[in-house]
Chains A and B, each alone.
Chain A
Amino acid sequence: DQQVKQNSPSLSVQEGRISILNCDYTNSMFDYFLWYKKYPAEGPTFLISISSIKDKNEDGRFTVFLNKSAKHLSLHIVPSQPGDSAVYFCAASEESGGSNYKLTFGKGTLLTVNP
């Protein structure tokens, strides 16, 4: 049972436009959310995160929005660049067994930014 869902397997946008990647979750215990970016033949790398006490976090061209009531978050990339083409994973964490935190990932969305 998928607790973190990325319902769009792929997304294609033009260079310079906005990319919006979406993520939904079902576990109300999740209180910290992360986006990872993965290039082919490399491991995922951390991109941006947001705590459940916030509804927005911005880092340069990347902004993550969190809507707790809808259990939905989104990653906005503005402006999109060809180098942003990668698989983007949404992940969520909850306290698990004391002080250990476990990440639950979505299946990922392949973003292609066309020049």
Chain B
Amino acid sequence: DAMVIQNPRYQVTQFGKPVTLSCSQTLNHNVMYWYQQKSSQAPKLLFHYYDKDFNNEADTPDNFQSRRPNTSFCFLDIRSPGLGDAAMYLCATSIYPGLRTDTQYFGPGTRLTVL
């Protein structure tokens, strides 16, 4: 089945130690998104890639970076995680951001713990 896969499902890191979260998709979608969801909060868009075109949200901290080496993979890099970065990180894909009816397909998320 075509899907969005996130690895690992659970990630523990130390304060200040760089960490990378991975997302892959078999849907061949053009757009890949990264959301941050803190406990009991709404998912919040960090950035997205439309093909190789990177689109950062204005309020995403510089501590968060992303890479998309090819259509299938997208990485979220947190350069110096703080305690406030502990959250569920959701990856999503969509075919084309310009379609009003375009659905986003989500992975199961990676829960990040910062010690």
Main secondary structure of the interface of A (DSSP, over half): strand
Q: Is A56 an interface residue (CB 8 A)?
A: no
Q: Is B81 an interface residue (CB 8 A)?
A: no
Binds B, one of A12-20, A45-53, A63-71: A45-53
- Chain A, residue nearest B96 (CB): A99
Decide if A44 touches B98 in the complex (CB within 8 Å): no
Point out the residues of chain B lying under 8 angstroms from A104, CB to CB.
Answer: 42, 45
Interface range on chain A (Cβ under 8 Å from partner): 20 to 34
Against B, the Cβ 8 Å flags (1 = close, 0 = not) of A8-42 are 01000000000000000000000110101000011
The answer to whether A2 and B98 touch (CB under 8 A), given A46-B103, A97-B55, is no
Against B, the Cβ 8 Å flags (1 = close, 0 = not) of A102-115 are 11111110000000
Main secondary structure of the interface of B (DSSP, over half): loop
Complex Cα–Cα for A105 and B58 (A): 17
Complex Cα–Cα for A51 and B108 (A): 27
Complex Cα–Cα for A69 and B3 (A): 38
Complex Cα–Cα for A31 and B100 (A): 9
Besides the contacts A101-B98, A107-B40, A107-B41, what 19 more A-B pairs have beta carbons closer than 8 Å? Answer: A2-B42, A36-B106, A43-B4, A43-B90, A43-B105, A43-B107, A45-B105, A46-B105, A89-B43, A100-B50, A100-B55, A100-B97, A100-B98, A101-B97, A101-B99, A101-B102, A104-B42, A105-B43, A106-B42
Which A residues have a C-beta under 8 Å from some C-beta of B?
A: 2, 4, 9, 31-32, 34, 36, 41-46, 49, 51, 89, 93, 97, 99-108
